[in-house]
Amino acid sequence: MGLGRDRLIKGLVLRLCLLLTALCVCVHVYLEVRHRAPPLLTLGRPSQTSQLVADKGPRARQVDKDTMVPSSGAQDKMVKRRVSYVRTLNNDSNTGKTRGGDEKATCCPPLRLNRKSLRWHIELEPWASDSHSLEEEARRFVHYITTPQVSCGPSFPVGIQDIGTPEGPWAVCLDNRYSLAQRIQSKQCRVYSLGLGVEDRALELSLARVGCEVHCFDPSLRQAHLQESDMWLHRLSVDWRDPNPAIPVQRQRGNTKKLATILNDFGHRQVDVLKADVESAEWKILENLVLEGVLNSVGQLLVEVHLQWAGFEVGGDNPTVVRYWFSLLKELERAHFRLFHQHSDPSKPHLFLHKNILNASSVYTLGWVNTQWGT
């Protein structure tokens, strides 16, 4: 009996020792963590580190993720922060070039868009009427796209009179108030043409003949890159989103990229003329250009719009669709674009969202000029 009692007492003592040891370890860990924790932060005040970083200019720099400062009693203590690297677009003056002097070579630093804030959706305009009727929305929209906001003067520099005549479906504005004519004369003009199996490249050929650097993007090409008739042809399709990196390249439909990504890849900062004939994908592509601020890099925008249906990935009932179309064009206006040219195709049926409304054509070619381009 005495031997069993001794073993029981020794077991209890051993367990008590283990319990006390575990308790001591926990207390030690707690004190260490508390001692190393950062001081409390006061909300709403940017740190001195962040302010100094912001004042260093637009070159690649290190930015503090925690834009808060310690409370008054702990400002002298060091706080560990996570950091990331942010690159912003250098001004042309920093690279020894004027705004209009963008070189034609594709060795330029890649475009880095200078966005004021991240946008996720466009601003919808008020309804055309309290009834939200399709007729009223269509009337406002059709009037808007058939009423030019600026006119282009008739004075053309020598040698480029035949480029995009006003009678044709595609036209550029060569008015001396805007910089395209001067850019052509100084051999600094760049053109992007987006299309799907486009056969009519008369405008691109005319611009290439007078010295513009012309890039045509068409996913139906057999070769990745090809130079033909003083133009560059690329097997690329411009989309409103980049490919999903989780999907293997073999399973993706063609090589599609956003325009901002292509500008980055090619190292281009500016595009004097952007022509888009993308078969009903124009609405979502326009939306992407607006939301990502790419329009600041475009001088003139030429787009063929299709009105017989809503367009790819455009949802809602018919009045909502037309309101969305109109709101997109008003976004162009807020980005300093003004309509200078409109042309309806007489060979196309008069269908507006599968109906005959206001005898509107199903296809219009529209041209906008950026009134702030080159100023």
Q: What is the pLDDT of residues 207-226, one digit of tens each?
A: 999 999 999 998 888 888 88
First to last CA, the chain: 105
| Cα 286 from Cα 290, distance rounded (Å) | 6
| Cα 164 from Cα 229, distance rounded (Å) | 18
Beta-bridged to residue 192, according to DSSP, are: 215, 274
Residues of the chain with pLDDT under 70: 1-4, 32-118, 154-167, 197-198, 244-254, 375
Q: List CB contacts of 44: < 8 A, sequence separation 6 or more.
A: 68
Question: Domains, the chain, ranges and CATH?
Answer: 134-370 (3.40.50)
Torsion over CA of 94, 100, 103 and 104, rounded to 10 degrees? 150
Beta-bridged to residue 220, according to DSSP, are: none
- With beta carbons less than 8 A apart as the criterion, state whether 91 and 238 touch: no
pLDDT at residue 201 in the model = 87
Q: Give the Cα-Cα-Cα angle 207, 262, 310 (nearest 5 degrees).
A: 85
In one-letter notation, the amino acid at residue 255 is N
pLDDT at residue 162 in the model = 58
pLDDT at residue 34 in the model = 59
pLDDT tens digits along 300-357:
999 999 999 999 999 999 999 999 999 999 999 999 999 999 999 888 999 999 999 9
pLDDT at residue 222 in the model = 82
pLDDT at residue 23 in the model = 83
In one-letter notation, the amino acid at residue 311 is G
Residue carrying structure tokens 């070769």: 223
pLDDT at residue 213 in the model = 96
Torsion over CA of 63, 69, 70 and 75, rounded to 10 degrees? 80
